[in-house]
Chains A and B, each alone.
Chain A
Amino acid sequence: MTRRLMVLLGTKKGAFLLDVAPERRADPGAWRLRGPFCEAWPLNHLVFDPATGAIHGAGGNPWFGPAVWRSDDLGGTWSHASEGLTFGEGEPAVTNVWRVTPAHGALYAGVEPAGLFRSTDGGRSWSHVAGLRAHPSRPGWMEGAGGLICHTILAHPNDPLRMWVAISAAGCFATEDGGLTWEARNRGVAADFLPDPDPETGQCVHRIAHAAGDPERLWQQNHCGVYRSDDAGRSWVRLDAPLPSEFGFAIVAHPRDRDAAFTIPLKDPDQGRFMPDARMAVWATGDGGSTWEARRTGLPQENAYLSVLRGAFASDPLTPFGLYAGTSSGALFASADEGGTWTRIIDLLPPIHSVETALVDA
């Protein structure tokens, strides 16, 4: 069967879909743009579930509140739901959905203020995974610049009882009992904006990602550095000394090599959070993070006052694999050769919050 590559973009002004024949993905003229979808709601995440063929979107609207959007026909029609997205009486209202992740036959949604919900009916209704907010550190959770948000959900590939979430700015938490109880996993991760620079929680984690084929190995891009954990997040080793900045939002694991990953450093938080020296680069490691190398070919090398946010960096499932970086300026840069060279696929979109890819029937 003929397949097409789809890049799913969650933006400040709705969902967009980009389609291309896989063999033509390096040609910007071969891509077809569809959208905006979801009534131009701000979408923090848009993802394809290969198990069901549905697209799910996570977002919130300043007037109408949070919603998870769903399309069962690859973007042709959309529905929305938020039934059950509540922490209950006396608790703060859920204002936004930041992440929606299919895993083991369920959907999980990370929300603002930070919390986790599960759906077993494809996102039509939700139930609170209350164990996360029952963590004893919760009264001390502080919001980051983007709010107090549960923005990353990592499911264990084989064990449905195990999951990691990342909360800004509370840190990384993990469960091994299906969400009943959670453990903070931030040892070794700096929080040098706090009076205690080495707390149990309070770290400003920006993104965590599983290493290829090794769910015990995690990569982390944090407000305060880049890290790797080889024990499922129980301890972390700092890796960003060779990078031009400790700060960045996104990190992507190599899809086949457990020692390889990519990150996009940004200027210091109080210095604009755009590309260092206004020159865009993707930095790659192939040795577990000991050394990093800048990849710049095809990326703008002057006046690049833009950033790539936490969810706006992704790989595709092809061989060689592709990489995609969506920018705050509404451009999508793509590499069809595993990050070696880059091409601007599209420009002038709304600010891009998330990038995901899928291989679907043409």
Chain B
Amino acid sequence: MAELLLPAGLVALFPGMPRRMTVSGTSVREIVDGLEAERPGIADRIRVPGGELRPNLRVFVDREPASLATPVGPASVVQILLATAGG
């Protein structure tokens, strides 16, 4: 099971959701799909419907920049971060 770390601004949209959890999946895409099954609507917050990651989100797998297609191992750490934006 990989470890997933989520940003505070994302979990705030889904009451009761922890920022750190263990997840199953062999790619970032599978992990996002798994989240969606547990928390309907969360996939649309992370990726454009039917598409790639939202432009101002960054995903790292084991500290390396990642995309939805990036493989995830059983001991991986997957981090979703917010790009600095706004005002």
**Contact across chains for B41 and A82 when beta carbons are under 8 A apart:** yes
Contacts of B51 in A (CB 8 A): 93
**Contact across chains for B9 and A93 when beta carbons are under 8 A apart:** no
**Contact across chains for B44 and A82 when beta carbons are under 8 A apart:** yes
Interface size in chain B (residues, C-beta < 8 A): 20
Contacts of B86 in A (CB 8 A): 62
Contacts of B45 in A (CB 8 A): 64-65, 82
Taking the complex as formed, is A177 at the interface, i.e. its CB lies under 8 A from any CB of chain B? no
CB distance from B48 to the nearest CB of A (A): 4
CB distance from A270 to the nearest CB of B (A): 23
Interface size in chain A (residues, C-beta < 8 A): 14
Contacts of A39 in B (CB 8 A): 9, 12-13
Contacts of B49 in A (CB 8 A): 82, 85-86, 93
- Beyond A63-B54, A82-B49, A85-B49, list 17 extra A-B contacts (CB 8 Å): A39-B9, A62-B85, A63-B7, A63-B83, A64-B9, A64-B46, A64-B54, A65-B44, A65-B45, A65-B48, A80-B41, A82-B41, A85-B44, A86-B49, A88-B50, A89-B50, A93-B48
Taking the complex as formed, is B57 at the interface, i.e. its CB lies under 8 A from any CB of chain A? yes
Can you list 14 contacts pairing A with B, beta carbon distance less than 8 Å? A63-B7, A63-B9, A63-B10, A63-B54, A63-B82, A63-B83, A64-B10, A64-B46, A82-B45, A85-B44, A85-B49, A86-B48, A86-B50, A93-B49
Taking the complex as formed, is A161 at the interface, i.e. its CB lies under 8 A from any CB of chain B? no
Taking the complex as formed, is A81 at the interface, i.e. its CB lies under 8 A from any CB of chain B? yes
Assuming the contacts A39-B13, A80-B13, A89-B50, asked whether A63 and B41 have C-beta atoms less than 8 A apart, the reply is no
Within 8 A of B (CB), among A51-91: 62-65, 80-83, 85-86, 88-89
Nearest chain A residue, comparing its CB with the CB of B40: A83
CB distance from A78 to the nearest CB of B (A): 10
Contacts of B7 in A (CB 8 A): 63
Contacts of B54 in A (CB 8 A): 63-65
CB distance from A113 to the nearest CB of B (A): 13
**Contact across chains for A63 and B85 when beta carbons are under 8 A apart:** yes
Bound CA–CA A89/B41 (angstroms): 19
